[in-house]
Each structure stands twice: as C-alpha cells, then as structure tokens.
Structure 1
C-alpha cells in the first residue's frame, strides 16, 4: 500500500510500540489517529508525532464507537487499523481469578475484536483496508504464570486467522505481528519505559516490521511475522 496520505488508527499509541509505529507512519506522510487512556500522556505523544489524539479505552465498547466517530470527523475514513493496545497479568494457576481474565481479555481480545468489527465495516464498503494485530511470541508458546496473557494472545492469533478468511474476498489484508521481548513500559507497574539494552528489541524494530508489511504492494500480504532479538543472551 501507499503509506503517504493513508488514514490510520493506532490503539495504545502514546508509548512503546504504538508510539514508534505512529511516528514512523506519520514520517511517511500518513494521517494518524492515536488512542490511549491517559489524556495528558496521549496529547503529549500526539503533539510530538503530529497525530490526532482520542482518549479512549478499547475495553469499553462505547469508547470504541466514539473512536470511530472521531475517525469519520477527523480523518474522513480509514485505511489501516493497528490493534496495539494490550495489558498483561502474570498469575500462577492457583492464583487465577475470573476478574483477572476479564480485565485482560476486555482489552486484548474483546477490544481488538470490536475495533476490527467497526474497521471491517468501512473496509468492506470500500473494498480495501488493512488490519495489523500486535500479538506476541506468547501467542505461539506458553510459559509458567502466562495462562491469562498467553490465552489472550492465542485468542488474538485465532481471531486473526478467522478475519483473514472472512475479509480476503474484500481485498482486506489482516496481518499478525508477534514481538518477542521489547524494552517498553509494557508490564511495568509504574508504566515507565524501560531503558534500552543492546541485546534486546526496541519498539523501533517492531514499528519497522509493521510499516514494512504494510508497504508491500496490495496484491500480496504477510499473514504472520515473528520478531526475535538476534542474540538476547550475549553479555
């Protein structure tokens, strides 16, 4: 696709992977709308990027609907949805609660699905569009204490495959991106960005991957891509 002048939503766009992706897209001339829950942080990020901020929590359906009203008003339509917003909780099997599942699934699964639902309606009508779901290597392999988070990302991976089957006849590309460990604020109790480490992935590597998959000519698409650090064990 042609990035210049493309109309894009990036959820969770105020920091980390979402911020880096929105920034790269804006640098290439895209018109970008970012969402997030923290108004001050979101507006500061939007000003730095040159994006449109919409304070919204994808876990709340009424706020998803408000986001798409803003899309119509601010962008006049949509070409790309990047489902980046996500949260995590680590619990041993003995500690699991329904409340923890609901909290994570409302963002990682239900929120992504409701965003995709509204985007798909636009994309089917115009017979084109792009959905990028940010999952994780946790969508491919579980780990101890990962029941809730891995379960949510396995669900997102499964939904991606369903949307690919449903939307390909409408020229809609649905792409899954699985980052390995990235030095961001994700999972940090204080929500502060972690410092870069020379042997770990940065948000920039994932943003590069997202933009590269989108830039492929629309006749082809990459269904799924996984990004690992080259050598995370080196000293």
Structure 2
C-alpha cells in the first residue's frame, strides 16, 4: 500500500512501539490517530509527533463503536490501517496465579483488541484495509511465569489466523508482528521508557518492520513477521 495520505489508527500510541510506529508513518506521509488511556500524556505525544489523539481505554468496550466513528471524523474518512499495539502483562508461576490477573490481561490483549477491531471492520472493508496485530515472541514459545501474558499472545496469534481466513476475500490484509525483547516502558508502573541498550531492540526496529510490511504492494502480504535482536547476549 501507499502510506502517503493513508489514514492509520495506532492503539497504545503514546509510548514505546506505538509512538515510534506513529512517528515513522507520519514521516512517510500518513495521517495517524493514536489512542491511549492517559489523555494528558496522549495529547503531549500527539503534539510532539504530529498525530491526532483520541483517549481510549481498551477495557471500555461499550465506547468502541463511538470511538470508531470519532476516529473516522478526526482523520477525515474511513481508516486504511488499524495497528493493534496496546497491551499489558501480568506474570506469576503456576500455583500463584489469580483469576483477576487473567481477566485483566485478556480484557486488553484479547477481548478489547478483538471488539475494537470489530468496531473498525466496516471502515476497513470499505477501504480494503490492513490490520496489524502486535503480538510477541512470547506468543511463539512459553516461558517460566509467563502463563498469563504468553497465553494471551498465543490467543492473539490464533485470532490473527482466523481473521486472515475470514478477511482475505474482502482484500483485507491481516498481519502479525512478533517483537522479541524491546526497551520500552512495558510492565513498568511509572511508564517511563527504559534506556536503550546497544544489543537490545528499540521501538524503532519494530516500527520499521511494520512500515515495511505495510508498504508491500497490495497483491501480497506477510502473514507473520518475527523480529529478533541480532545478538542480545
């Protein structure tokens, strides 16, 4: 697709991978709307990178239809790309897992993501658009204490494959991106970005992968793309 003048929504766009992706797509000429829970932070980031802000909590599913309509109004037409980046994590070993931890993570990473995508689906069908789901290498292989987070990303991988089967006849490309460890504010209560490390991935590498996948001619798409640090050790 052509990113110039494309209308893009990035969830979780006020920091980390979402912010870097929005910034890069704007530099490529796209009109980008970013969402996030913290309206003040979202507004500040939007002004910094030239995006349009829309405060949205991924657990407030009753607001999604209205949010999709508002997004269309703000960007000046139906969207071409939905990037499902917002996500959270909870970690505990088997024997210490609490039901509310599963509920909290799945509400954002699986349920909210699915229902928000559904709210945008009419626009995406109109535009023969693109859905990009940001999963994780944790959705490819589990790890100790990862039952909650990892299983939510395995679920997102399964959702992506179902949507690919359903939406290819509508010329909608559904793509999954699996970052390995990235130096972001993920799982930090203060939400302050971690400092860059020479051998670790930055948000910019994932943003580059997303943009490159989107820029492929519409006759083809990359169903799944995993990004590893070359040598993190």
Report the TM-score when normalising by structure 2.
0.97
Deviations 1:28-84 (A, max 9, x none): 111110000011110011001111101101121123223212122112211000000
> Can you give the 5+ residue segments of structure 2 that lack an aligned partner in the other structure?
none
SS of the residue corresponding to residue 95 of structure 2 reads helix
Superposed counterparts of 1:15-26, under 5 Å:
15-26=15-26
Deviations 1:181-230 (A, max 9, x none): 00000011221100000000000000000000000000000000000000
What's 1:89 paired with? 90
What's 1:216 paired with? 216
> Can you give the 5+ residue segments of structure 1 that lack an aligned partner in the other structure?
none
* 8 Å CA contact 2:61, 2:112 repeated in 1: yes
Shift of 1:127: 5.5
Q: Distance in 1 between matches of 2:175 and 2:138?
A: 16
What's 2:67 paired with? 67
What's 1:170 paired with? 170
* 8 Å CA contact 1:127, 1:170 repeated in 2: no
Tell me the matched-pair count.
Answer: 232
* 8 Å CA contact 2:183, 2:197 repeated in 1: yes
What's 2:105 paired with? 104
* 8 Å CA contact 2:175, 2:224 repeated in 1: yes
- Output the aligned Cα RMSD: 0.9
Shift of 1:97: 1.3
Deviations 1:93-113 (A, max 9, x none): 111111110100000001110
Q: Distance in 1 between matches of 2:124 and 2:52?
A: 21
Q: Distance in 2 between matches of 1:221 and 1:54?
A: 29
Superposed counterparts of 1:76-225, under 5 Å:
76-124=77-125, 126=126, 128-225=128-225
Q: Distance in 2 between matches of 1:187 and 1:119?
A: 27
Q: Distance in 1 between matches of 2:74 and 2:146?
A: 39
* 8 Å CA contact 2:185, 2:191 repeated in 1: yes
Q: Detail structure 1 runs of 4+ shifted over 6 Å in the superposition.
A: none
Report the TM-score when normalising by structure 1.
0.97
